[in-house]
A and B are shown apart, each in its own frame.
Chain A
Amino acid sequence: MAPVEVRDLSKRFGQVEAVKNLSFDIEAGRVTGFLGPNGAGKSTTLRALLGLIHPTAGTATFDGKRYEDLDRPSGEVGAVLEDASFHPGRSARNHLRVLAATGQHPPERVDLVLADVGLTDAADRRVKGYSMGMRQRLAIAAALLGDPEVLILDEPTNGLDPPGIAWMRGMLREQAGRGRAVLISSHLLAEVAQSVDDVIVISRGEMRAQGPLAQVLGGDGGPVTEVIAEDQAAMWSALQAAGHTAVRDGGSMIVHGLTPAEVGRIAGGAQLTLLLLTPRARSLEEAFFALTGGEAPA
């Protein structure tokens, strides 16, 4: 049984079906990216997973139990949601003390997680004086308070500066390295590509792709080859004559659906000299647009 299992999850708000029959697993020891355009249903899915939203149909469970049925919910699942909010008049330390008391976590965890996220020096300042990045770190500290086996993070890099983002990436890898299941929703595709092992892509509430990152990047469009010929115009013509097309990318051409060997044979047949011939993986951004029909990530 996977630590997190979502089965046929659906949620309807009035006439709007925000999530439709979504099913996926999150594996232990892996970081899973949860991607989709604005309004795709990512936040609704995460909130349904955490018992904040009542699903219209389907289930979302942690080791077979709904979030609200877990013995120590915040000790088993840590969550950072997009609208992480705090009482502005309360200090970070007191915010975490309240959560530690509610979740029945040892009080000494408060100082440990404050140190983990680098907020020790600001712990007694009121949260209303915090920058967005500091608030995000505090939200992450709250998620780590119960030392949970599952981490769910909705846009956790929002407001973080580059060192903060690098720290986040390291933290995610460290958590996964300790055997924990991490689910991260983000609109920063390049950032996600560096951080995740698996990817789930949804659009309009429906599943578009899921699996290991390399598999999703491979997509169903076949191989992609990057080529630079001494005479680019002649190369272009040779590809067209062979029934293929290419797209220009800076000084090179990108050929979809052909392997480097096949492109090489076409160039050889036209007696063209090649300066570069290499397989090229799709970027996560390219895969995302292909899967979601060109909708912008959010």
Chain B
Amino acid sequence: MSALLRAELLKLRTTRTFLTLVGAALLLSLLVVVLTALLQDHFTHRDLRSLFAGDFTGLFILLLGVMGMAGEWRHRTITSSVLAEPDRLKLLAAKVIAYAIAGIVLSLIVTLAIMAVGTIILSSRDLPTLDVTSLLNVIWPNIATAGFLGALGVCIGALVRNQVVAIVGVLIFSFVVEPTLLGLVSDVGKFTPITGAPSGLTGIEFGGDDNKLLHQVPAALVMVGWLALGFGAAAALLRGRDLT
């Protein structure tokens, strides 16, 4: 399994898409933090938590996961992957774990970067910042969410083989369907996989009402449930499919 994991991480590192999306996640996250820290004059504790939780890695690693798996079909590299490791379940598991690890590492880097930059700017303006405990309470939900979304992206890519359809579908679902559900039917929306449950884990619903969200433990359990469901469905489909 460790060999497969190494191979998957090597696959990730050896394309420009990965570096481009990582750079975009870092720049976008820093841009939002810098502008907010420079332009806003009053920060509540929730505002500060929202500021430092503004890590865009989750979205990008989700898309990377989708592209990483759906790309195997698009470029037909799934054949050489399965020839090298015929156990398709192990192959899928290695990819899921690799993208979860990538999500965790990237999110940690981005979150630490925005915390450092945000704290420096706010301190220079004599504005309040978060203490270490509060920062840690932002970091772990951030990286856990990014790891979850990386893994979930791989499962989605295995279920929807068309890369473009998968990416557009994920974007519509996460930017239109889920926010609409959260706004209109929060009892349903808070269980959704990309925004709803992860927002419960971070404890912040951007632009909405935090009280509508799941608490952290139920949110984490819902996320584990989504991942188990996605992995199970993806594994069943991958194992039964003829690679013609």
Contacts and interface: CB of A to CB of B under 8 A. Distances in A.
Interface stretch (A101-109, A114-122, A171-179, A231-239): A101-109
Interface stretch (B6-14, B35-43, B134-142): B6-14
Interface in A92-108: 94, 97-99, 101-104
A282 to B, nearest CB: 34
Interface stretch (B74-82, B155-163, B228-236): B74-82
A85 B76 contact: yes
A73 B75 contact: no
B4 interface: yes
B98 to A, nearest CB: 12
A99 B82 CA distance: 10
Interface in B78-124: 79-87
Given A89-B17, A94-B14, A142-B80, A102 B243 contact: no
B242 A103 contact: no
Contacts of A84: 80
Contacts of A90: 11, 14-15
B104 to A, nearest CB: 21
Contacts of B7: 98-99, 101-102
Given A47-B244, A102-B84, A81 B10 contact: no
Given A47-B243, A53-B243, A98-B11, A87 B71 contact: yes
Contacts of B184: none
A288 interface: no
Contacts of B84: 73-74, 99, 102-103
B85 A87 contact: no
Contacts of B79: 52, 81, 83, 85
Contacts of B240: 54
B82 A51 contact: yes
B234 to A, nearest CB: 18
Q: What range describes how many residues of B lie at the interface?
A: 20 to 34
B132 interface: no
B176 interface: no
B85 A103 contact: yes
A161 interface: no
B88 to A, nearest CB: 9
Given A47-B243, A52-B243, A79 B83 contact: yes
A84 B80 CA distance: 8
B91 to A, nearest CB: 8
B68 to A, nearest CB: 10
A54 B14 CA distance: 32
Interface of A: 13, 43-44, 47, 50-54, 67-68, 70, 73-74, 79, 81, 83-91, 94, 97-99, 101-104, 142
30 contacts: A13-B242, A43-B244, A47-B242, A47-B243, A52-B243, A52-B244, A53-B242, A54-B242, A67-B86, A68-B86, A73-B84, A74-B83, A79-B83, A81-B79, A83-B76, A85-B79, A87-B15, A89-B17, A90-B11, A90-B14, A90-B15, A97-B10, A98-B7, A98-B14, A99-B7, A101-B4, A101-B6, A102-B3, A102-B81, A103-B84
Given A54-B242, A68-B87, A81-B79, 8 more contacts: A47-B243, A53-B243, A68-B86, A86-B77, A87-B75, A94-B10, A101-B4, A102-B85
